Amino acid sequence: MTAAIIQAVLLSLTVAALYAAVAAGLTLTVGVTRIINFAHGEFVMLGAFLTYWLYTRFGLSPWLGMLASGVALGLFSMLVYRGFLARVLKQDEHNQLLATLGLSILILNIAIILWSPDPRVMQAPALLPSAQFAGVTIPGNNIVVAIVGLLLFLVMLGIKNHTRYGTQMRFASDDPALAMHAGINVDRIFELSFVIGGAAAGLSGGLVALVLYVQPTVGVDLVIRAFAIIALGGLGNIPGALIGAAILALVEGLISTFVPGGGSWGFGVAFLILLLVLLVRPSGLFGKQVHA
Amino acid sequence: MSAGLLARIGLYAAIAAPLLRIAASDRPFLVQVAIGTAISAILALAWDILSRTGQVSLGHAAFFGIGGYGSALLTPVLGPVLGWTVGILLCGVVALLLGAVTLRLRRLYFTIATLSFSLSIHVVILVTPGLTGGSTGIMPPVIAGGSPPLQLLFITGCLVVAAVVSDVFLGGRFRPAFFMIRNNPDLAAASGVPVTRLKILAFVVSGMVAGLAGACYCGLYGYVIPDDVFTTNWNVLPLAVTILGGMDTTLGPVVGAVVLRLLEEVARHLVGGVGYQVVYGAVIILFIVGMPEGLVGFVRRLIRSRRRQAAEPGQASAKARLAL
Amino acid sequence: MTALSIEQCTVAFGGLRAIDDVTLALPAQAITALIGPNGSGKSTFVNMVSGQIPPRSGRISLGGEAITGLRPDLIVQRGLARTYQVPKVPKELTIEEVISVPLLYAGSGRALPGGARNAGDLARYCGLRPAVTTRCGQLSVSDLRRLEIARALACRPSVLLLDEAMAGLSLEDTEQVIGLVREIHASGVTIVVIEHVMRIIARLCGHAVVLNQGRLLAEGPPQEVLRDAGVREAYLGKGFSL
């Protein structure tokens, strides 16, 4: 029983790292642009497919594959931003919401047509050997996910807190008008945050290919969880996203392991927790609470 | 006032007439399309009523489903009239509770919370098979003995009811107060508006109208599974329909439902399979970029700029000065 | 006779005391000026009195009736209205619709000033020239200011707080608004004016209250208050001249 608990907790934590990777990019973008990008999940899906094709067609190691996915999706995000999202920035929030939903539907269904809805498994050898910990075995790919997910998360944090762009991003999101007066090119900062978010999505897509089925709908559930996570942690708060991811993954993992038939429960309970947290703290656990 | 009332009755007639004409026709496919369109329009009207207070919901599938399940499960016990009434009232109660919980949430948090709520309700249905049939679904009593033309008649009536409700909340008592709440809640409160109460009122009414749409939907074929109603599709649809048609109006969601359905059918015919979903996404994107205020808003703006051009040059320049 | 009394009120954001133990009694039927340098707590004062930010401690009463901790809309119903410095009205609403909101919801039972009976009358009373069916998105800044005063008057207030209602207006517009404030005052409304321009205060107000760093610094007739050494010091370094 103890071993089972430890196993469930450890596996949940690796899942948490994956969630954190997906959510970190999203919360960076949301924190700056105030747009919740529903297509973020499809960006993750595209990253997963790219890593998968690169391995199965060209034998490219998933290590390199996920890097390539990050770069590719970063570029793709730039195209999406310039061609489409920049035009939506000044519109009302519901229009922005619908815009990214439309994008998500479009990409998802093109992928279904092109690649069929069938799930695929990337049968690459594990990138790292599996590890024994307190008597339980953690598969190597889960360790990769945990490590790369955390690294990606730290990179996001580093960009936001320790670079010139990060400072400008925080400035631009706090008060775009003032930032503009201060000579910051707000448009470019918005674009940059979107591109970084997209690159993070592509890279986390590579992680998805390691541990989940590669299929067009893989991003849908992930992005919905990512929304819950970033709301739980406070929109735009990157460390908050890590804790949100851990809470969500643990609740989900433990319930589905130990509650009979709880496979679908966990999902719902996680969202109930989000509702309860927002009831007490309307801006998430670590979000800025605003007066009045 | 009476001219306004006449115009409104004209609007309801204009909405109902084509649907009734289709019901009287002998074209089963068209009847099915009209039924689907009318249900989308009711759900979109529900969403629009809420959005007028600045609450952008992405969780209306919850009310759609609760209304459908509620009416379906209660009708055998209470009879159709009371069953539907209680089922829809149940939506109102749930909306009241959710509205109270999400009241303090700011924009994106509100949207994410409503989305989460709809997912949670889906799970609640799945884990209570004793009460709700779980994933195997339920068999709701069918509307109008399962005759599609009669069903269309009934649903047309429901659509007119939803349109009347929408118009009540576009009247002088609510429209300015709602817009003020959406735009600047502090200013609304400083004008004596009980902001909290009106936001929750909008939520309750919106939830009940969405429940009505769900009740209509579930009563169509006599068999419903949770995935039919508690899906993201019903969360997104009212948003897409309303924004494409034009927000803050009664005509907008109806026009949006018709246009979206037409495009969908054309795409299904031309592309087939899931191809129409691609068109769905593309249409949304094109509309947002090209016609962000929706069809009705776009036409209104055209008419207004026509009028301005038609006005005397002196008056036009005075207006231009005012605009500065 | 006191229209509005504030007893030992404190508003704090975290550690910062934006209003620090302020006790005040505003005389009824007067035009009182509320002055102080930037960040002295004037806006917080208005937000506190109007119920938007309830005080952490202390008591507020309006015409002898306690309004401490009441919701803003209920305070409006008791007869206290305020204007906003930068009025953000929904641009799709018309002048008439904006004024109709308090007419419908803030029924305090008092009569409207100037014998006004509806939104159109109030708009004219406040000197709004555009037709009442004009959308707010098309109004000039000075018309938006007038609309904001009309909206506040539609609350049928006994006490009216004007938050920099004349800031950024042309000389001509300012004169008109001063005339309007006098007229509103003459109709029996107690007025509190938050202003930066001392010239206006000296002409308009019979009573002045000075806030500095959230504390009450001085109170009395404007001429005396402005001569007060502490008040001069508070304004010093801001390039302030009388």
User: What is the C-alpha separation between A247 and A286, in angstroms, rounded?
Assistant: 14
User: What is the C-alpha separation between C156 and C80, in angstroms, rounded?
Assistant: 8
Q: Residues A260-264: what's their mean pLDDT? A: 66
Query: CB distance from A107 to chain B under 8 Å?
Result: yes
The answer on pLDDT for B47 being more than 80 is: yes
Query: CB distance from C50 to chain B under 8 Å?
Result: yes
CA distance C90 to chain B (A): 6
User: What is the C-alpha separation between C17 and A50, in angstroms, rounded?
Assistant: 56
The answer as to whether A126 is a domain residue is: yes
Instruction: Tell me the pLDDT band of B40, cut-offs 50, 70 and 90.
Output: very high
pLDDT given at position C236? 54
The answer on pLDDT for A59 being more than 90 is: no
CA distance C116 to chain A (A): 34
Amino acid letter, residue A15: V
Q: B138 Cβ partners below 8 Å, 6+ apart? A: B69, B72, B73, B132, B223, B224
Q: C23 Cβ partners below 8 Å, 6+ apart? A: C6, C7, C8, C9, C216
Q: What is the dihedral of CA C102, C103, C105, C108, to 10 degrees?
A: 100
User: What is the C-alpha separation between A12 and A20, in angstroms, rounded?
Assistant: 12
Per-residue pLDDT tens over the stretch B145-182: 889 999 999 999 999 999 999 999 999 999 999 999 99
Q: Residue C170 pairs with which residues in a beta bridge?
A: none
Residues in chain B: 324
pLDDT given at position B322? 43
User: What is the C-alpha separation between C176 and C143, in angstroms, rounded?
Assistant: 12
Residue of B187, B197, B198, B317 to mutate, testing the C interface (most C Cβ within 10 Å of its Cβ):
B187
Chain C CA closest to residue B176: C97
With CB atoms and an 8 Å threshold, state whether B284 touches A227: no
* Closest Cβ opposite residue B323 in set C52, C90, C138: C138
Q: Residues B215-220: what's their mean pLDDT? A: 94
Q: Which residues of C touch A292 (CB under 8 A)?
A: 47, 52-53
User: What is the C-alpha separation between B186 and A4, in angstroms, rounded?
Assistant: 53
Amino acid letter, residue C175: E
Instruction: Tell me the pLDDT band of A75, cut-offs 50, 70 and 90.
Output: very high
- Residue found by looking up tokens 């990253």 in the block: A47
What is the overall mean pLDDT for chain B? 89
Q: Which residues of A touch C13 (CB under 8 A)?
A: 291
CB contacts < 8 A (A, C): 5
User: What is the C-alpha separation between A96 and A103, in angstroms, rounded?
Assistant: 11
The pTM for the full model equals 0.91
Asked whether A278 and A284 are in contact (CB, 8 A), the reply is yes
Q: C167 exposed, middle or buried (CB, 10 Å; 0-12, 13-18, 19+)?
A: middle
B touches which chains (3+ CB pairs under 8 A)?
A, C
Task: Indicate the range of A272-276, B34-38, C226-230 predicted with least confidence.
Answer: C226-230
Q: B262 Cβ partners below 8 Å, 6+ apart? A: none
CA distances (Å), B234 to each of B14, B57, B69, in order? 26, 11, 15
pLDDT given at position A291? 39
pLDDT given at position A261? 66
User: What is the C-alpha separation between B227 and B214, in angstroms, rounded?
Assistant: 13
Give the CA angle between residues B247, B253, B257 to the nearest 5°.
140
pLDDT given at position B323? 42
Query: CB distance from C177 to chain A under 8 Å?
Result: no
Per-residue pLDDT tens over the stretch A7-25: 888 888 888 888 988 998 8
With CB atoms and an 8 Å threshold, state whether A112 touches B126: no
Pairing of strands C57-62, C65-66: antiparallel
Query: CB distance from B227 to chain C under 8 Å?
Result: no
With CB atoms and an 8 Å threshold, state whether C92 touches B324: no
Which carries the bigger pLDDT value, residue A208 or residue A181?
A208
Query: CB distance from C139 to chain B under 8 Å?
Result: yes
Total domain count, chain A: 1
> SS3 of A146, please?
helix
Burial B101-112 (b: 16+ CB within 10 A, else e): bbbebebbbbbb
With CB atoms and an 8 Å threshold, state whether A267 touches B288: no
Chain A CA closest to residue C12: A291
Q: Residue C27 pairs with which residues in a beta bridge?
A: C2
User: What is the C-alpha separation between C148 and C50, in angstroms, rounded?
Assistant: 15
Asked whether A247 and A152 are in contact (CB, 8 A), the reply is no
Closest C-alpha to B242, from B232, B252, B233: B252
Per-residue pLDDT tens over the stretch B80-116: 999 999 999 999 999 999 999 888 888 889 999 999 9
Instruction: Enumerate residue ranges in chain C where pLDDT < 50.
Output: 237, 239-242
* Closest Cβ opposite residue B108 in set A34, A102, A268: A34
CA distance A292 to chain C (A): 6
Chain A CA closest to residue C44: A292
Burial C72-86 (b: 16+ CB within 10 A, else e): bbebbbbbbbbbbbe
Q: Which residues of B touch C104 (CB under 8 A)?
A: 172-173, 177
User: Would you tell me the crossing angle of helices A186-211 and A140-162 to the nearest 10 degrees?
Assistant: 170
With CB atoms and an 8 Å threshold, state whether B282 touches A103: no
With CB atoms and an 8 Å threshold, state whether B179 touches C76: no
- For residue C13, how many other CB atoms are within 10 A of its CB? 11
Closest C-alpha to B190, from C142, C177, C148: C148
Q: Residue A266 pairs with which residues in a beta bridge?
A: none
Query: CB distance from B167 to chain C under 8 Å?
Result: no
Question: Strands, DSSP E only, in chain B?
Answer: none
Q: Residue C35 pairs with which residues in a beta bridge?
A: C210
Residue C6 has what DSSP assignment?
E
The answer on pLDDT for A135 being more than 80 is: no
H-run or E-run covering C213: none
Asked whether B29 and B37 are in contact (CB, 8 A), the reply is no
Query: CB distance from B104 to chain C under 8 Å?
Result: no
Closest C-alpha to B204, from B75, B65, B100, B108: B100
With CB atoms and an 8 Å threshold, state whether C89 touches B191: no
Task: Look up the domain containing A134 and give its range.
Answer: 14-220+233-238
What is the overall mean pLDDT for chain A? 85
CATH class of the domain at C2-85+157-235: alpha beta
Q: Which residues of B touch A241 (CB under 8 A)?
A: none
The answer as to whether A265 is a domain residue is: no
Closest C-alpha to A62, from A211, A247, A189: A211
With CB atoms and an 8 Å threshold, state whether C138 touches B319: yes
Which carries the bigger pLDDT value, residue C113 or residue B216?
B216
- For residue B147, how many other CB atoms are within 10 A of its CB? 14
User: What is the C-alpha separation between B104 and B55, in angstroms, rounded?
Assistant: 11
> SS3 of A216, please?
coil
CA atoms within 13 A on the CB side of A255: 16
The gap from C-alpha C66 to its chain's centroid, in whole angstroms, comes to: 19
> SS3 of B194, please?
coil
Per-residue pLDDT tens over the stretch B55-66: 999 999 999 999
Closest C-alpha to C129, from C119, C139, C137: C139
Query: CB distance from C190 to chain A under 8 Å?
Result: no
pLDDT given at position A181? 79
> SS3 of C7, please?
strand
User: What is the C-alpha separation between A226 and A209, in angstroms, rounded?
Assistant: 17
The gap from C-alpha B121 to its chain's centroid, in whole angstroms, comes to: 19
SS (H, E, C) A59-73: CCCHHHHHHHHHHHH
Q: Which residues of A touch B248 (CB under 8 A)?
A: none
Q: Which residues of B touch A100 (CB under 8 A)?
A: none
Task: Indicate the range of A6-10, A79-83, B46-50 predicted with least confidence.
Answer: A6-10
Which tokens is A269 given?
Answer: 């309970």
Amino acid letter, residue B109: Y
Amino acid letter, residue B302: L
Q: A60 Cβ partners below 8 Å, 6+ apart? A: A54, A68
Second-level CATH architecture of B2-244: Orthogonal Bundle (1.10)
The percent of residues above 90 in pLDDT, for chain B, comes to 61
CA dihedral for B312, B314, B318, B320, sign (positive or negative): positive
Q: What is the dihedral of CA C28, C31, C35, C38, to 10 degrees?
A: 100
CA distance B77 to chain C (A): 42
* Closest Cβ opposite residue B282 in set A95, A106, A274: A106
pLDDT given at position A144? 87
With CB atoms and an 8 Å threshold, state whether B189 touches C100: no
Chain A CA closest to residue C72: A292
> For residue B27, which phi and psi values (nearest 5 degrees)?
-125, 95
Domain residue limits, chain C: 2-85+157-235
pLDDT given at position B1? 54
The answer as to whether A281 is a domain residue is: no
Domain residue limits, chain B: 2-244
Asked whether A225 and A246 are in contact (CB, 8 A), the reply is no
Query: CB distance from A291 to chain C under 8 Å?
Result: yes
Which tokens is A188 given?
Answer: 């470019």
Query: CB distance from B323 to chain C under 8 Å?
Result: yes
CA distance B52 to chain C (A): 12
Closest C-alpha to A145, from A206, A225, A102, A191: A206
Edge to edge, the sheet with strand C31-35 lists C80-82, C159-163, C190-194, C31-35, C207-212, C215-220
With CB atoms and an 8 Å threshold, state whether A291 touches C53: yes
* Closest Cβ opposite residue B119 in set A112, A224, A290: A224
